[in-house]
Structure 1
Amino acid sequence: MNIALFYQAKKTIEPKASYEVAVAENPRNRRVSEPGRKKRAVNRHTHFWAPGRSLRIAFLNGDQDFKDAVKAAANNWLPHINLTFDFIEGNEGDIRIQSEAGIYWSYIGTDALLDTDDPTMYLSPDQHMPEFFAANVMHEFGHALGAEHEHLHPEASIPWNKEAVYASWGVNADADENDPKRQAVDERYFNLLDASEVNHSTYDPLSIMHYEVRQHWTHGDVKIDLNLTLSEKDKAFMEKAYPYSTAENE
């Protein structure tokens, strides 16, 4: 299975608004921070919440089993971040979770503050597949904490068989570069982040933020299974993004 079964249509984020809300939340977002795992730079800023704060995470729907499974998986990030999660009911959360079958999606970090009405994260109620569900929840909470996709790392050298990937996602074989379905697949898998615009460590195929790479999607024997746990680089990245003491970074 893929790390995401279905993707919400990408919501338009106005760069100026993204920058302003990020810096208002955490002034350190105004600059690219010290080397860590890669982050997309919009106006060359990051999207981290203010260290030490409590994030209110609202469940808009879902049964208790779903909510308990989300909490258990999301809490795997807590030992590595100077944040607390306050899970609440209602629609007043900084992060608002909608349970919807077949959808996994999240805003990147503080961009969630730009949308005050709609869900900021979608999670499919797949808790009957515990490992798969937990991996997806950790992945989406990684986005909610400010991380981007690892398979789009500037140094990733996955030998994609693009035709096979297109076919798996229902892109017509004769689709040109302007075809919306092809563009969506290109953005999900092939359009690497620009090394001049991101701050990154070495590529990490073990990251929870990496998509599964099926063997028939590549040339040769390259295959990356669904990562089920946080990697050591995932943990180190978040520890730098959300330190308990900022003195060393001033």
Structure 2
Amino acid sequence: MDLPNSCLPHKPADINASYDAAISENPANRHTSASSRKKRAVAWHTKYWAPGRTLRIAFLNGSQAFKDGVKNAASNWLPHINLKFDFVEGEVGDIRIRAEPGTYWSKVGTDALLVEEGPTMVISDWMLQPKLFAHYVMHEFGHALGAEHEHLHPEANIPWNKPAVYEAHWVPEDADEDDLRRKDVDERYFNLLDPSEVNYSSYDPKSIMHYEIRQAWTHGDFQIFLNFVLSEKDKAFMAKAYPYPEETSE
């Protein structure tokens, strides 16, 4: 079966280092929930960059067409956030992009600061379909700005036909929960985010951060087509994460 391209989840190996980097960058990333759950060594935190700052975004490789395509697509976020993007060449950048065929992933927000060298984002250089390419760029930049996958939203109630999804991803029928291929599928599609550990608005099937969900993978009449533009909730979510200073009257 021809599977849709999907970005790989990239979680930090050290949650304490992730917390320290996030708070150092933006003190507002500190946990603000009243939840008493303590499942991790430190409190849950957001991973937003400091509003008002300029993110240096380095291209580690790629053609000029690739770089121009990334710049154009990523700029769709800019009208909705109090950040600037400064695209540069070379090895130094807050975000570092590598072109790699058939691969998509990004560190989430300030977790990019934990990567001392090499890419913090990888985008396929396959550009035969500009609309699709732009989707993946906006999706990965959503992660780079601190957003998680929308289909893993705590309130998502997708009627999954799990055996069909496992079969499509070549997971053996007798695979147990420790099977690596099954664990990968569970991580990509089924393991919803803990509501006590994420900052979220209402579930948005139109989000650029949502995977394509095929009809054959669900029960009943349910499917999600790939979204090619930022939704209104995408814009509102990021505007709240990266606000402009409030105007003061004299």
Q: Does 1:130 align with 2:130?
A: yes
Residue in structure 2 matched with residue 4 of structure 1 by the alignment: 5
Task: Specify the alignment match of 1:49 in structure 2.
Answer: 49
Structure 2 counterpart SS, 1:197: coil
2:8/2:188 contact within 8 Å kept: no
- Could you tell me how far apart the structure 2 residues matched to 1:126 and 1:22 are? 33
Aligned partner letter, 2:79: P
Q: In 2 relative to 1, CA 111–12 (structure 1 residues): closer, same or farther, beyond 3 Å?
A: closer
TM-score, length of structure 2 as denominator length: 0.91
Report deviation, 1:244.
0.8
Distance 1:12 1:202, change over 3 A: closer
Can you list the C-alpha shifts for 1:153-208, whole angstroms capped at 9, x where unaligned? 11100000111111221211211100011001101100011223333221100000
Alignment partner of 1:157 is 2:157: yes
Residues 132-211 of structure 1: matches in 2 within 5 Å?
132-211=132-211
Structure 1 residue identity aligned to 2:182:
R
Cα distance change of structure 1 residues 3 and 76 upon mapping to structure 2, 3 Å threshold = farther
Distance 2:6 2:30 in 1: 34
Match of 1:28 in 2: 28
Aligned equivalents of 1:216 and 1:223: distance in 2? Answer: 8
Residues 142 and 3 of structure 1: CA distance in aligned 2, closer, same or farther (over 3 Å): farther
- 1:15–1:242 distance in 2 versus 1, CA, 3 Å: same
Asked which structure has the greater CA Rg, the reply is: 2
* CA positional deviation for 1:50: 0.5
- Residue by residue, what CA displacement relative to the aligned partner does 1:21-58 show, whole Å, maximum 9, x if unpaired? 0000001011348xxxxxxxx73210000011110000
Percent of aligned positions that are identical: 64
Checking the alignment, whether the CA contact within 8 Å between 1:2 and 1:212 is kept in structure 2 is no
Give, in whole Å, the separation in 1 of the partners of 2:145 and 2:200. 16
Q: Deviations over 1:197-231 (max 9, x none)?
A: 33322110000000000000001110100010000
Contact 1:32 1:46 in 2 (8 A): no
1:111-165 CA distance string (max 9 Å, x none): 0000111200000012221111100100000000000011011110000011111
Unaligned runs of 5+ in 2: 34-41
Alignment correspondent of 2:65: 65
How far apart in 2 are the matches of 1:198 and 1:11? 13
Letter in 1 for 2:179: D
* Aligned-partner Cα distance in 2 for 1:71–1:3: 24
Contact 2:6–2:211 (Cα < 8 Å) also in 1: no
Partner of 1:221: 221
Coordinate RMSD, CA, aligned: 1.8
Distance 1:247 1:105 in 2: 37
Q: Distance in 2 between matches of 1:193 and 1:246?
A: 32
* TM-score, normalisation: structure 1: 0.91
Residue 98 of structure 1 corresponds to 98
Q: Is the 8 A contact 2:46 2:199 kept in 1?
A: no
Aligned length: 239
For the residues of structure 1 that align with 2:24 and 2:128, how far apart are their CA atoms?
40
Instruction: Measure the CA separation in 1 of the matches of 2:189 and 2:80.
Output: 28
